[in-house]
Amino acid sequence: MIDDQRQLTFAPWVKRSPGQRADGATVVFPHAGGAAAAYRSFATALAANGTDAFVLQYPQRADRLSHPAPDTVEQLAADLFAAGDWTRLGPLRLFGHCMGAIIAFEFARVAEAHGAVVGALWVSASQAPHTVVTSPRLPTAAAEVVANMVDLGGTDPRLLDDEEFIDLLVRAVRADYLAFNRYACGPDRTISADIHLLGGRDDHQVSQEMLRGWEIHTDQAVTLTLFDGGHFYLNDHIDTVAELINAT
């Protein structure tokens, strides 16, 4: 009965992997341009020995292709929170990769304001919120978006020859980048949850120093764990990261 109630509480584009325990949930926020399907294996690993795992689908991709893009990261976070009654799940663990970590941070602020308990924010390969406003603007022209995706890695090179895939990728990335380029967060904006920082040792986009910038956004515990690999190190360490999250 609990299982059915949880499933019915959320919008259909909130992708749930049923867990082994009912004492909370892990919510996964994909990277810019990323679809929920890209995190299916990660969600399965999280749920295998932990609580329910939910992967959020942003607008302008997959089954939300016709949904309008949000103007701001804050609006996106609020819309994602409105997709279900997250307060019923118990303590939330939030995991966000790259831009997904910024969205997860704003989701945490919305959740806390509505009485939901956020136990921890897991930040993966992301600069700190307060540094975004002074960072170079992300590209939105099609050719530059594709070049940026190639530089980051994580996209199957064979798909880059598929014009239909490229069109869909650019559409999703552009929607996310436009919202990200409008984002401004002061160093005094904080959450009341632990922040755990994860990154790849060879990530040429997000350094260890950039990860540590998150320390000012909470007065709770902060940890840092590095893995072999680049910006998408997670693809090679899915089970290890899932175990780390479930162990806290």
- Tens digits of residue pLDDT in 203-248: 999 999 999 999 999 999 999 999 999 999 999 999 999 999 999 8
91, 118 Cβ separation under 8 angstroms: yes
Total number of domains in the chain: 1
Amino acid symbol at 30 = P
- Tens digits of residue pLDDT in 125-160: 999 999 999 999 999 999 899 888 888 876 766 767
The whole model's pTM is what?
0.94
| CA–CA gap between residue 202 and residue 154 (Å, rounded) | 14
What integer pLDDT is reported at residue 154 of this predicted model? 64
Per-residue DSSP letter, 70: P
| CA–CA gap between residue 166 and residue 38 (Å, rounded) | 16
What mean pLDDT is predicted for residues 12-25?
A: 94
What integer pLDDT is reported at residue 127 of this predicted model? 98
Residue in the block written with tokens 């949930």: 25
**Strands across the sheet containing 14-17:** 14-17, 51-56, 21-29, 92-97, 118-124, 194-200, 222-227
Mean pLDDT score of the chain = 93
What would the 3-class secondary structure string for 202-245 be? CCCCCCHHHHHHHHHHECCCEEEEEECCCCCHHHHCHHHHHHHH
Q: Which CATH number characterizes residue 121's domain?
A: 3.40.50.1820
Sorted by sequence, the CB contacts under 8 Å of residue 201 that are 6+ apart come out as 226, 227, 228, 229, 233
Parallel, antiparallel, or unpaired for β 14-17 and 51-56? antiparallel
200, 229 Cβ separation under 8 angstroms: yes
Residue in the block written with tokens 């005094």: 188
- Tens digits of residue pLDDT in 91-110: 999 999 999 999 999 999 99
Domain with 113 in it: 2-247
